[in-house]
């Protein structure tokens, strides 16, 4: 066999191998879906609104949050939005009776709100894994300051209907942003 045909065969094999690496390999990599939400005063994507999100149980998704509003907002997942709102209104009403300024009330609320939700969240089977550790202050709820962008991995393992809400109260005290319509449905479908 002459060198020419051998080189030709080797070339074809090499091209095929390279093509396999570039074409086939990426197909085996699971594609991670991205869910993007823009926070505004007071809603997700637009005031008084939150789009319905759908994920599969166990699916890893990347949630990207951008706060275009003038107030601090949060993305917090709750199984029952009415119950969690009731719990939080109780906290708000108790703080509201204190003889302190509205600014101080908001500061007290910021601490108590997070404590109550962290206790409640420990009862549920889901996880938020921070992708950018520095920009995710909490494992159970993500707070985003005005002009800030945060992204994190989210995995929900139990099928069901959940809600994502913002229970911040900056600019609306003693009304919560959730009461202004800052909430949306999060459906976790069986895998
Ligand atoms: Cu908010």
Element (DSSP H or E) covering residue 8: helix 3-19
CA 129 / ligand 1 centre spacing (Å): 21
Q: Indicate yes or no: pTM above 0.85.
A: no
CA distance 164 to 155: 14
CA 81 / ligand 1 centre spacing (Å): 14
The 10s digit of each residue's pLDDT in 43-55 is: 999 999 999 999 9
CA 65 / ligand 1 centre spacing (Å): 12
Confidence at residue 138, expressed as pLDDT on a 0 to 100 scale: 34
CA distance 129 to 19: 35
CA 3 / ligand 1 centre spacing (Å): 71
Domain boundaries, the chain: 1-30, 31-189
Q: Which residue stretches of the chain have pLDDT < 50?
A: 125, 130-139
CA 123 / ligand 1 centre spacing (Å): 24
CA 23 / ligand 1 centre spacing (Å): 43
CA 114 / ligand 1 centre spacing (Å): 14
DSSP 107-122: HHHHHHHHHHHHHHHT
Class of CATH domain 31-189: mainly beta
């Amino acid at each position: 066999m002459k060198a020419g045909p051998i080189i030709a065969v080797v070339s074809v094999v090499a091209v095929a191998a390279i093509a396999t690496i570039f074409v086939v390999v990426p197909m085996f990599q699971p594609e991670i879906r991205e869910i993007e939400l823009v926070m505004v005063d007071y809603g997700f994507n637009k005031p008084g609104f939150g789009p319905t999100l759908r994920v599969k149980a166990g699916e890893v998704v990347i949630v990207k949050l951008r706060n275009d509003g003038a107030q601090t907002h949060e993305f917090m997942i709750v199984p029952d939005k009415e119950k969690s709102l009731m719990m939080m209104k109780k906290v708000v009403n108790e703080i509201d009776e204190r003889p302190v300024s509205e600014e101080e009330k908001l500061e007290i609320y910021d601490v108590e709100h997070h404590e109550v939700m962290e206790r409640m969240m420990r009862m549920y089977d889901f996880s938020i894994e921070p992708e950018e550790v520095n920009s995710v202050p909490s494992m159970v709820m993500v707070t985003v300051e005005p002009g800030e962008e945060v992204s994190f991995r989210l995995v929900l393992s139990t099928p069901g209907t959940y809600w994502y809400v913002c229970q911040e109260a900056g600019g609306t005290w003693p009304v919560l942003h959730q009461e202004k319509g800052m909430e949306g449905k999060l459906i976790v479908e069986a895998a």
